[in-house]
Structure 1
Amino acid sequence: MNILGISAFYHDSAACVIVDGQIIAAAQEERFTRKKHDAAFPKNAIEYCLNAAGKNLDQIEYVVFYDKSFLKFERLLETYIAFAPRGFQSFLTAMPIWLKEKLFQKLLLRDELKNLGADSNIESRLLFAEHHQSHAASAFFASPYEEAVVLTMDGVGEWTTTSVAIGCGNRLEAVKEIHFPHSIGLLYSAFTYYLGFKVNSGEYKVMGLAPYGETKYVDVILSKLLDLKADGSFRLDMQYFDYCTGLKMTNKKFDALFGDPPRKPEQPLTQKHMDIAASIQWVTEEIVLRLTRALFNETGRKNLCLAGGVALNCVANGRILRDGKFENIWIQPAAGDAGGAVGAALAAYYTHCDKPRRTNGKDAMSGTYLGPSYNNGEIEQQLSSAGARFERLSDADLITATVDALVAGKAVGWFQGRMEFGPRALGARSILGDPRNPAMQKTLNLKVKYRESFRPFAPAILREDMAEWFELDCDSPYMLFVANVAKDKRTEVTEQESALFGIDKLNIPRSEIPAVTHVDYSARIQSVDRETNPRFHELLSAFKARTGCPVLINTSFNIRGEPIVCSPKDAFRCFMGSEIELLVIENYILYKEKQDNRLKTNYSTTLEPD
């Protein structure tokens, strides 16, 4: 049975094809259009997924959309009525879009699919899952567990913002929900907005900024903004928020509570901003911990699955792991809306079609390497047409040349195999660096990524060496757990250094791998095993053999404001528009000094805030 899953029209549109329950391909539309968080109908992603599966639309039994627009429209209308006359301007802005497009989404999907070659019966094969059903299905049905508690947390779907389901075999039963406007995701996004970052993309900046601050505002948040119960259930005081009726997340009452208007993008960050970030991060972790503890006590289940945008908060995930209530935790790596395409397809296969499910101890995401790959002919054609100068090396020589560059302190663009699905680069479309170099974090942020200097980088480490270097000894292939660097790898901080505040802490080496050690000794860890990504494992092994260190900096192959690269052409453009010094595409190697200088582009003057 062939099923196409689609998420679209809000942010991070994506497509997925499953064949007889196996995820064959999945990709986000942004990777093809080069428009970050592209919300358009995922035409390119669908075409890629169908080609990867060797199918056309007439061979697809069901096309499944990841949410139900009529229920969203109901929520929109009820919210405006409840808050009237506030929000009239927002109502006037939203209604034409809904009446023109979103309310008649079935017809829109039918027409778009017909444009891709679907027959006239495609409408009869369209199914619609609920938003949090898609999230939950993406977490449980893709997990390695036969049974689990499934917790989904995000901004909002149709009405639901937090949901609990019990998964068993091919069944997934929803048992609890928290409804809009009460939302962990929207609470965190409100602070993202207040701190001057983009909602739906800048939340991870708040998480990265938090360790530079102190939790001075926790009491204010808990006493004024949030009524938090012992079991993790909560209600927000909506008099401080504007997202129900306005075009902003917060309002003047919120500003008065914290003493200032929202920070404007690109304005300097102050210690107060860092303290606010630390406070909302602590509160978010507390909510999630109370929820998961209560779920364990209520169900007695040993396995926990997570999805929804809040599940990308890897610091909170690390707290759940260290809390030790659940024996096993699995988090959908494409936990946000893009992953809804996977969940919608899996929900249709198992729930709607009642197909049997068999687990084999491994998850179904194939390391997230579900996107396009390129053969030698395609690589040579794209590079030649772009004017690139390149060499083709043997496997052994390629690894040696890459390690040479890394040890020399160079930034390396690493392009191998199938592109990752989801927000993380995991060794297929990555920028790599030497984590032992204390200047590398600042260099990569300011000269390669063109972004704020405080933002941390993640370590990729050989799975077999992880427990020696970090306080973590479980698989973390998707970079979704934060843990501390092992004590014997840390560098003692002087009294004078420990007295520093905020960004002044940034340049203090804190371990043997300072470029991936955050100011609180933490790191967002990717474990790399030989089976899932053999070439990346080989590179890490060679770097370890040369240096004694089994760790590399791994950050996404893109610069600020653009999606992760997809094709060799994208990679070469990013290479020539940044200060990446070596580009490795499969067995092809490109040295910056050998390129035509006329092909360089100046990204740094044209970038939008991300």
Structure 2
Amino acid sequence: MYNLGISCYYHDSAAALLKDGHVIAAVEEERFSRKKFDDDFPHKAIQWCLDEAGITPDKIDSVAFYDKPVLKFERLLDNYIAVAPRGLYSFLDVIPKWIHKRLWIKNDIKKALKGFKGEIIFPEHHLSHAAHAFYTSPFEESAILTIDGVGEWSTTSYGYASNDSVKITNDIRWPHSLGLFYSAFTYFLGFKVNEGEYKLMGLSSYGKPKYYDLIMENLIDVKNDGSIHLNMEYFAFTYDKVMTSKKFSKLFGIEPKTRDEKTLQIHFDIGASAQKVLEDVILKMVHHIYDKTKMKNLCIGGGVALNGVSNYKILSEGPFENVHIPPSPGDAGSAVGAAQYLYYIYHKNPKDTSDNTQLIQENVYVGPSYTDKEIKVFLDSKNVSYKSFDDTELLQKTAQPIADGNVVGWYQGKMEWGPRALGNRSILADPRRANMKDILNAKIKHRESF
């Protein structure tokens, strides 16, 4: 049985193909389009998945799209009515995109899969996150926590999972979103929303949480169970293309930082404060979920699960014995999650946890790869000089330049799934050198020093 999962039209569009529940191909559209965070329909990613499996669309049994577009459209309309007359320009920009394209995803899928005659289903956004978190884990049963900006209506959800069942029991709903709270600070500190949150996490380590109390007293009401209520007077994302209001700027005494503006200590301190609020809220959520489920395992999904500092706090200070987070917990990963929902929950197939090594391989190294022959043909076509080495000589030739302070681009096997370099497409450098981080950021990554 082949099942195809698709995510697109928000950010990080992707496609994933499962065979009898095993992930055999998964890749983001940006890997082919070369457009960072490409959100368009993943034509190229789908075609690569089919080519990798050696099948045509008529062999696919069923397809899952990662959320419910009609429910999401309902939320958008409801929101614009609620904030009117504010939000007119946002309405005129967003709604035509939905009416002309995003509501007709089923037609897009049928056009892309000529010959496909199977069923197309639409699991809810946070169920796709939950399925991806659980079915990539080695657990037979687990508590579930998903946190992101927003799906259809939910922004955070929790529940439990076992075998062929994932149950969402509670959620927090739009506009009260921990993910959008963090994205508001991402915007305010000069980074791009849905792209720069990891930069905010890095920036926060250089500051002190001096504004923690100010944030807790004015911006966010947090209950003991981790549920939140945002003070929407300070946020503009319900009606504008920016995330924060003028009242937000007045609270901190500065205007939103521009990209080229120098990062000052106040920016580091605001970032540290926002990060601490995020960590404290998530810890409250985690403790509440443990009290309710009494399970020893926790699986976490959603884009906020990419916050590694917060994840460490969950592991070190949380009550769960085991914590699992998939390598791509955000929306791209939900292409796999939707397909897993389709196979395990919709079609009621049992989960197999007998081979943890296979689980890791299937959910990390599932992207494109190229043979030595293919690489040589490409290099020859571009008149690029190269040398070939056996494995032993290759390791020696690689280790010495690294020891000498050089930076090496390392390629092997299949591309990793998700935004983290995990050994197959990696930049290697000597961590013993005090200035190496600055060299990488300045010369390779072309990003901020932190």
TM-score bracket, shorter-length normalisation: over 0.9
**Could you tell me how far apart the structure 2 residues matched to 1:443 and 1:94 are?**
41
Q: 1:382 aligns with which of 378, 381, 401?
A: 378
Q: 2:179 aligns with which of 176, 185, 204?
A: 185
Instruction: State the structure with more CA Rg.
Output: 1
Aligned 1:14-163 pairs, distance under 5 A? 14-113=14-113, 118-119=114-115, 122=117, 125-163=119-157
Q: Does 1:294 align with 2:288?
A: yes
Q: Does 1:420 align with 2:390?
A: no
Q: 2:192 aligns with which of 193, 198, 211?
A: 198
Q: Does 1:282 align with 2:276?
A: yes
Aligned 1:190-589 pairs, distance under 5 A? 190-360=184-354, 362=356, 364-366=359-361, 368-454=364-450
Query: CA deviation digits over 1:481-528, x for unaligned, max 9?
Result: xxxxxxxxxxxxxxxxxxxxxxxxxxxxxxxxxxxxxxxxxxxxxxxx
Query: CA deviation digits over 1:239-259, x for unaligned, max 9?
Result: 111111111111111111111
1:141–1:170 Cα contact (<8 Å) kept: no
**Could you tell me how far apart the structure 1 residues matched to 2:439 and 2:168 are?**
47
Change (3 A) 1:358 1:73: same
SS at match of 1:15: strand
Q: Write the letter of the residue equivalent to 2:262.
A: P
Q: Write the letter of the residue equivalent to 1:337.
A: D
Question: Normalising by the residue count of structure 1, what TM-score does the alignment of the two structures yield?
Answer: 0.72
Query: CA deviation digits over 1:244-292, x for unaligned, max 9?
Result: 1111111111111111110011211000000000000000000100000
**Could you tell me how far apart the structure 1 residues matched to 2:341 and 2:388 are?**
44
Deviation at 1:365, TM superposition (A): 4.2
Deviation at 1:108, TM superposition (A): 2.6
1:4–1:16 Cα contact (<8 Å) kept: yes
Q: 5+ unaligned residues in a row in structure 1: which ranges?
A: 455-610
**Could you tell me how far apart the structure 2 residues matched to 1:396 and 1:286 are?**
48
Worse overlay, 323-332 or 227-236: 323-332
Query: CA deviation digits over 1:187-226, x for unaligned, max 9?
Result: 0000000000000010000000111101011111111110
SS at match of 1:135: helix
**Could you tell me how far apart the structure 2 residues matched to 1:225 and 1:365 are?**
40
2:287–2:318 Cα contact (<8 Å) kept: no
Deviation at 1:63, TM superposition (A): 1.1
Q: Write the letter of the residue equivalent to 1:413.
A: G
Q: Which residue is 1:11 aligned to?
A: 11
Deviation at 1:361, TM superposition (A): 5.6
SS at match of 1:337: coil
SS at match of 1:95: helix
**Could you tell me how far apart the structure 2 residues matched to 1:252 and 1:361 are?**
54
Query: CA deviation digits over 1:309-331, x for unaligned, max 9?
Result: 00000100000111141110000
Q: Write the letter of the residue equivalent to 1:275.
A: D
**Could you tell me how far apart the structure 1 residues matched to 2:213 and 2:383 are?**
58
**Could you tell me how far apart the structure 1 residues matched to 2:26 and 2:112 are?**
19
Deviation at 1:376, TM superposition (A): 1.4
**Could you tell me how far apart the structure 2 residues matched to 1:110 and 1:261 are?**
47
Deviation at 1:453, TM superposition (A): 1.4
**Could you tell me how far apart the structure 1 residues matched to 2:261 and 2:112 are?**
42
1:446–1:452 Cα contact (<8 Å) kept: yes
SS at match of 2:27: strand
Deviation at 1:447, TM superposition (A): 1.4
Q: Write the letter of the residue equivalent to 1:452.
A: E
1:145–1:361 Cα contact (<8 Å) kept: no
2:283–2:318 Cα contact (<8 Å) kept: no
1:161–1:178 Cα contact (<8 Å) kept: yes
Q: Write the letter of the residue equivalent to 2:367.
A: G
**Could you tell me how far apart the structure 2 residues matched to 1:232 and 1:362 are?**
32
RMSD: 1.1
**Could you tell me how far apart the structure 2 residues matched to 1:285 and 1:361 are?**
33
The number of residue pairs the alignment matches comes to 448
Q: 5+ unaligned residues in a row in structure 2: which ranges?
A: none
Query: CA deviation digits over 1:358-404, x for unaligned, max 9?
Result: 21262734161110111111010111222211001111000011011
Question: Normalising by the residue count of structure 2, what TM-score does the alignment of the two structures yield?
Answer: 0.98
